Structure 1
Amino acid sequence: MSRSADSLLVAVLSRAHVHADGYIELLAETAGVDLMVCDPDGPPAADRGPRGLPAGARYVDGYREVFALRPDAVVIMSETSRHRELIEPAAESGAAILCEKPLATTAADARAIAAVVGGRGVPFMIAHPVRFMAACSELIGRARAGQLGELVAVRGTNNGKLPAERSWFVEPEWSGGGALFDHVVHVADLIDALTDARAASVSAITNRMLYADRVGATVADVLGTGGPETGGLVLINYASGLVAAIDCSWSLSASAPSWGGLTINVTGTAGEVFVDAFRPRVRGIEAGSGRALELPYGLGGDASLIDAFLDVVRGGRPARPDLGTALRTLAVVLAAAESAARGRSVDVPELGW
């Protein structure tokens, strides 16, 4: 495989995640990047999402072959439970790592990842693109500059459709859970970026009433445990006194005009700000079916995330959001899952770093 002396060899590992092809497209369009894609595993279950060889990309048959080529960087887009098995050899090879969120499905895997990444000292970023969106970036800057005073309350929503095109999202063996694991981290990451306060305890409630027929839930599952949660509400208490509430539900119907969105309302002692991160949209009606349509416009966070990661690989900036952020946001998710299962508030676990 030939490469120019000043280019970066970047490998996308797996196409399991819904964001994988978007990142592949962005990397393929970036000057100075030699891109290769590897997706040998295939879906763990019936899956409508594309797998294997993507159009217009150089393909490598196996992960071992990828690491033998000594890539400068890897982008890990596998099922969440497979992150560790890809991060460990990537770190051992010395490659910079961008990993899809959340970091892992268990505390044990998260601690193992922290040990190998920390031990090897490789650059590591977690894929939290929402913080790179213009409105969210400005909110973070203003809060960090003290314009809101001391933060006292945050209310966030990250709602969407059931990600049915990637069926592993609703298989806890692969995803860790359901809506908690899919959606809590984006708002938790924004809070992590807004303040240095650390989450102390979490209370969460979940149910399986939404999309029950799509995730194999029975009446007993809806009322008790078993199967992935499709609706959830998480209350986080921070050591500083900050309180945050996150609605993380897959609460949009399959016929909704868009996949969903994210909002955050931040209250401080000196002011309050509300951000609807995906609000800029063109709205209309599809002529043939009469179905409502919403098409987002403007710059999203994905392109800025990829640009930031490539800057990290080139040594132009520190990794942000880094492994510490990945561990802290995952700790909130794990605490939320435990709280929902136990029916009481639980302490946020310490995952290292």
Structure 2
Amino acid sequence: MSKPKVGMISFAHSHAFSYLHALLALPEVEVIGITDENEERVKAITTEHGLSYYNDYNDLLAIAELDAVVICSENVHHAEHTIASANAKKHVICEKPLGISVTEMEEMIATCEHNEVQLMTAFPCRYIPAVVKAQEAVQRGDIGEVLAIKGTNRGTMPGRWFVDPALSGGGALLDHTVHVMDLMNWITGAKVNEVYAYAATLFHEDLPTDDTGMIHVKFDNGVFGVLDTSWSRTKSFPTWGDVTMEIVGTLGAISVDSFAQKIDFFSEDSGKGHYIYWGDSMDFYMIKSFVTALIEGNAAPISGEDGLKSARVALLGYESVKKGQPVFM
């Protein structure tokens, strides 16, 4: 594939704007259209960049020269949009979580395989410089055998459709398990076989879903993992949240603070401090890796199966919460 032509399905998730900017910064790819049921949400960017707009995503998929799509719709629509794209013979990169049930994620993967198109899960945290260096150190054996990983993905409550279970499929436990769970899967190279979780609504009154989560996992190679997935950061916090890990091995430990490359900025206009990240853009490198895979005809570097593995842990977490005990794969 010489110069892939890419479209975007939905800007419901704010990551879509960053992914678009990454695509526009890559001379080896061409963005040929955007579809969103809410035209006002994308009108400014379609006008600024001269991009074609489609109200119905099927009209975008009907474009013969379209090679691939980036899907950033509400979680509940990921399966529909991915399956339709695959049946239209378009490669897919889909926002996390890949889906809201194991059955639909398996169907997404199977449909893409049947139509011989790539399905990549959007896990940009794999491209954070600190995470890359930590994974390389583990692979070299710098800290011996990994024994345990403690992680956090604590953020501010996102509001909008994220807190509507009918559109999101869950709350903080689903929203913030999948990123760091994927990193744990990647770093250990092992499979989770036991999940024990806690979830509740503690920080925001009358929220229709959980805003607090703590998930514990046991891998089939004996490694333990624990992850704080809460929406516990207040509006006054300088940034949306964090991604951290403490990787403990037999010969040492690695501490990862993914967004530590920052400038502290204090604004009279907003009345609070801000963290301004100055490190490499994880979104840019993720999108670039997807485009490179298409051009070179290689498999997507983060597969649909990767997305399924991490989302399945979150879904089992909710099952554990209901039962009040560990559940097993």
TM class by shorter chain equals over 0.9
Q: CA deviation at 1:317?
A: 4.1
Which residue of the partner structure matches residue 187 of structure 1? Answer: 180
When residues 68 and 240 of structure 1 are mapped into structure 2, their CA distance, relative to the original with a 3 A threshold, is same
When residues 289 and 79 of structure 1 are mapped into structure 2, their CA distance, relative to the original with a 3 A threshold, is closer
1:139 aligns with 2:134: yes
Q: CA deviation at 1:278?
A: 0.5
Which residue of the partner structure matches residue 57 of structure 2? Answer: 63
1:11 aligns with 2:7: yes
Which residue of the partner structure matches residue 218 of structure 2? Answer: 237
Please list, as runs of the form range in 1=range in 2, the aligned pairs for 1:105-124 lying within 5 A after superposition: 105-124=100-119
Which residue of the partner structure matches residue 84 of structure 2? Answer: 89
CA distance in 2, matches of 1:263, 1:40: 33
Which residue of the partner structure matches residue 170 of structure 1? Answer: 163
Which of residues 193, 196, 213 in structure 2 aligns to 1:200? Answer: 193
TM-score (norm 1): 0.87
Q: Percent identity?
A: 29
Q: CA deviation at 1:89?
A: 1.8
Which residue of the partner structure matches residue 308 of structure 1? Answer: 289
The 10-residue stretch of structure 1 (252-261 or 56-65) with the greater mean CA deviation from structure 2: 56-65
* Equivalent position SS for 1:159: coil
**Matched residue type, 2:324:** G
**Matched residue type, 2:28:** G
When residues 116 and 52 of structure 1 are mapped into structure 2, their CA distance, relative to the original with a 3 A threshold, is farther
Contact 1:197 1:240 in 2 (8 A): yes
Which of residues 101, 109, 127 in structure 1 aligns to 2:96? Answer: 101
1:151 aligns with 2:142: no
When residues 257 and 69 of structure 1 are mapped into structure 2, their CA distance, relative to the original with a 3 A threshold, is same
Deviation track 1:270-320 (CA, whole Å, cap 9, x = no partner) reads: 221000000111113213454222211111311110110000111264312
CA distance in 1, matches of 2:289, 2:270: 41
Q: CA deviation at 1:266?
A: 0.5
**Matched residue type, 1:143:** V
When residues 77 and 288 of structure 1 are mapped into structure 2, their CA distance, relative to the original with a 3 A threshold, is closer
Q: Which has the higher helix share?
A: 2
**Matched residue type, 1:42:** N
Contact 1:101 1:185 in 2 (8 A): yes
1:34 aligns with 2:33: no
TM-score (norm 2): 0.94
Which of residues 233, 239, 254 in structure 2 aligns to 1:258? Answer: 239
When residues 342 and 37 of structure 1 are mapped into structure 2, their CA distance, relative to the original with a 3 A threshold, is farther
**Matched residue type, 1:308:** S
Gaps of 5+ in 2: none
Which of residues 239, 258, 273 in structure 1 aligns to 2:254? Answer: 273
CA distance in 1, matches of 2:201, 2:94: 28
Q: CA deviation at 1:202?
A: 0.5
When residues 149 and 299 of structure 1 are mapped into structure 2, their CA distance, relative to the original with a 3 A threshold, is same
1:50 aligns with 2:45: no
Deviation track 1:97-131 (CA, whole Å, cap 9, x = no partner) reads: 11100010112211211221222231121110011
Which residue of the partner structure matches residue 18 of structure 2? Answer: 22
CA distance in 1, matches of 2:235, 2:270: 15
Contact 1:28 1:57 in 2 (8 A): no
When residues 19 and 305 of structure 1 are mapped into structure 2, their CA distance, relative to the original with a 3 A threshold, is same
CA distance in 1, matches of 2:32, 2:202: 41
CA distance in 2, matches of 1:124, 1:108: 16
Q: CA deviation at 1:254?
A: 0.9
Which residue of the partner structure matches residue 326 of structure 2? Answer: 345
